[in-house]
Amino acid sequence: MPVGHKDAFLFYSSTPGKKFKTKLAFCAIILGENHFLFVNKLSFSCKEIKLLWIGQGAENAEVLFVGEGPGQSEDEQGLPFVGRSGQLLDKYLFAIDLDRSKNCYIANIVKCRPPQNRDPLPTESEACMPWLREQFKLLQPKIVVCLGRIASQRMIRTDFSVTKEHGTFVQKNGVWFMGTFHPAALLRQAQNKPAAFADFVALREKIHEVCGHTY
């Protein structure tokens, strides 16, 4: 079943989080509880095929979190934010009654780990955008939280400053976007944790305002 561009097709599965690749250098990645995305190697800019992952969360989520890309722990497990930064993110989610397995969804701009954990190149981000667009179509979120500079500048505005504009909501095409600090950056700069927590408190208020079934 086509879902938007010539190299992507929607299939069904009952194994969320699983990832695998075939002998023909294709990748199949679980999108959610009931479906996954099948993407031709030729539609991706990587020089060699890698194990990729799409995201994790509730398939009816109204709140979508978008990060930069998987790190080493995420690359190994095929799930988003499972290392130290993921543990910090889960604490913030718990504080405002969100749970990645119940009422929100977590994805990334790029779907595989850039070499040496460098920032994704513009061409790499662009190559992965069709995947994120399909997630938007499937989820139809009411709120998108951009975690860090890369996601915020890609999805909100190219000159968006997380330091100066975090916690501010911007509406685009009926969807509310907010940029905040990336959890990994908070581990390096702990002085920003109170500001990040305030952003999540503001997020909870926005959820009450615009979401119908998150809480």
- Side by side, the strands of the sheet bearing 19-21 are 8-12, 35-39, 27-30, 19-21
What is the structure's pLDDT at 134? 84
Asked if residue 145 lies in contact with residue 178, where contact means CB atoms within 8 angstroms, the answer is yes
Q: For the CA atoms of 80, 39, 136, 69, what is the dihedral angle to 10 degrees?
A: 30
Across the range 82-107, mean pLDDT stands at 92
Average pLDDT, the chain: 76
What is the structure's pLDDT at 125? 75
How many residues appear in the chain? Answer: 215
Domain 56-210 falls in which CATH fold? Uracil-DNA Glycosylase, subunit E (3.40.470)
Across the range 88-97, mean pLDDT stands at 96
Cα separation, 122 vs 13, in Å, equals 32
Q: Is 159 helix (H, G, I), strand (E, B) or coil?
A: coil
What is the structure's pLDDT at 53? 57
Residue 202 CB contacts under 8 Å (≥ 6 apart), including other chains: 167, 169, 178
pLDDT greater than 80 at residue 97: yes
pLDDT 10s digits, 68-92: 866 666 666 656 677 888 899 999 9
Whether the model clears a pTM of 0.85, i.e. scores above it, the answer is no
Cα separation, 121 vs 67, in Å, equals 15
What is the structure's pLDDT at 9? 31
pLDDT greater than 80 at residue 7: no
